[in-house]
Amino acid sequence: MMAMQPTANEKQRAQAQMLQQANSAIQNERPIEAERLAREILKANSGHSEAIKILGYALLMQGKAEDAVAPLEKAARASHDPEIATQLAIALRQAGETDRALIWLKRAVKRTPPFAAAFHELGYLLHSLDRSEEAIEVLVQGMAVAPMMTEMPIQLGFVCYAMNDRANAGSAFARALSINPVHPEAIHGLATVLIEEGEFAQAAELFKRALSVNADDAPARIGLGNCLLELGQAEAAYACLRAASARSSDFYGKALRVALSSGHGRFWLRPSAAAKFLKGD
């Protein structure tokens, strides 16, 4: 007796179930599973728009930007969804096609309702292309669209800092911290500005806040050590630098630079002596 073939309705239900599983895999950061499911759907229906989109997302999440461009562009052309256009632009940027990425992002930021991530990505891309004034304009628009999106003022802070505009950089990082008081990038950004302004006590408090959330934050421990040195608290400062330098050789080098560059730091004639001191030997 021959096995019965699945009906059209059964095939549709099976595809819908796979699509749901693929979306869940994307949401839970399982891109390999999402890619497999999307490809299974596309074997049966090569024009399935949602599966094409998921395939592009899954490839991008795996760092396969060049492979992600084609499915994402196909999905973006079939839709006016600014989220898909933004994901395509990210894939294009990562694949080195910045001109095309700009075209898609400029389309995305004009869509309604506005999609906040498109403003953030466009600001980031413009800044990377040394078009900082344009980046600032876009990020300010983005903050109006999404006033509670922490990443927007953080990116604005980085742009202003790169332009040596410490006042506006500090204001941007402070705004980010008003939204999320323990965001590590905002803490480090504002603390860096405060250090350059000579406000070591305030910067130290920020680094302490970062460490209260993540005791393994070695850059925050180095920053705190730097502040404590400038505040004349040498013993506590060197304890911070020793703890950070124990993490890896990269952090050892940064801790050593702080100890050497601080006006209240130390100087060693031999590298071995510096290593011995920072290791606490």
CA gap 266, 281 in Å, rounded: 16
Q: What is the pLDDT of residues 52-75, one digit of tens each?
A: 999 999 999 999 999 999 999 999
**CA contacts within 13 A on the Cβ side of 94:** 18
Quick: pLDDT tens for 214-259. 999 999 999 999 999 899 898 899 889 888 887 776 777 777 777 7
Would the pLDDT of 275 be above 90? no
pLDDT value of position 157: 98
Phi-psi region of 265 (alpha: psi -120 to 50; beta: other; left: phi over 0): beta
Cβ atoms < 10 Å from Cβ of 277: 16
Whole-model pTM? Answer: 0.84
Identify the CA nearest to 255 among candidates 233, 229, 231. 229
Between 234 and 103, whose confidence is greater? 103
Whether 126 has a pLDDT exceeding 70, the answer reads yes
Gap between the Cα atoms of 143 and 29, Å rounded: 27
Q: Which domains does the chain have, with CATH numbers?
A: 181-281 (1.25.40.10)
